[in-house]
A = this chain, B = another copy of it.
């Protein structure tokens, strides 16, 4: 299936990138995007720290540890777009987060700087603001309140990207992804869910807009219930089309409504706010 058909939108030309690098391509979100982004670039370069299976048509597969500077340098060469989904994506031991999300991100930006500054979409996370309450409506100027080491690493990532933008002109879209799954699977996702199709259309906007700059974007569908305001980024012309509300009845039928005082109901970061600091081995 071609995303352009799926999104039913105005973007029409195929292959507007030469080579799009997708990191973290073996993860859940990476796999969902791999199958949808074929039309975006002549070549998809797919990378992960684990095996990626067999290359499809116009695919290049690269196993790469983001903590390995030389490997990342080579990985980025020849790409004119980067969808950076790689790294640790849940709470974990700090040593793992340090390598993948701090050192790994630095390696990626240095490689981009060395190779013509291809535009980057960085998968940041709503967990940079996880300690806001669900009855708060915030925009991107709200000071960060990360809910764990994972969230802190995304704060680092946003700061690093901003510095490369101000200092070197590197453009990045900082997408604070809510929950990008097939469908919402708990009450919190009725507000924070982003459909795969909406993420695809956002990726299209990010790589096609004449000037990107370095915006923060809340990665959510057009949900009836929402906590986050994307109006500052309306210049991108992104109009998500899905709505978590469509799944409410199904969800309410299968999952008990959380108590008003439970972390799942109180905090935007949900249960992440309850994660402990994981001990190193």
Contacts and interface: CB of A to CB of B under 8 A. Distances in A.
A155 B158 CA distance: 9
Interface residues of A, number: 83
Interface centre among A103, A190, A225 (most CB of B within 10 A): A225
Given A135-B211, A224-B237, A167 B147 contact: yes
A11 B210 contact: no
Interface in A225-239: 225-227, 229, 231-239
Interface stretch (A25-33, A34-42, A56-64, A241-249): A241-249
Contacts of A133: 211, 213
B152 A163 contact: yes
Contacts of A236: 225
Contacts of A55: none
A147 B163 CA distance: 6
Contacts of A144: 159, 162
Nearest to A151: B163
Contact of A234 (B167, B225, B248, B266): B225
B163 A265 contact: no
Nearest to A239: B224
A235 B225 contact: yes
A199 interface: no
Interface string A167-191: 1010100000000000000010011
A140 interface: yes
A257 interface: yes
Copies in the complex: 6
A232 B226 CA distance: 9
A194 to B, nearest CB: 16
Contact of A191 (B159, B233, B235): B235
A155 to B, nearest CB: 4
A257 B208 contact: yes
A253 interface: yes
Nearest to A138: B232
A50 B146 CA distance: 33
A24 interface: no
A229 B231 CA distance: 9
Given A103-B98, A152-B163, A257-B208, A10 B246 contact: yes
A248 B10 contact: yes
Contacts of A190: 237
Given A156-B155, A211-B265, A246-B10, A260 B171 contact: yes
Given A10-B248, A152-B160, A210-B258, 8 more contacts: A102-B156, A131-B167, A134-B235, A146-B163, A156-B156, A169-B261, A210-B264, A225-B234
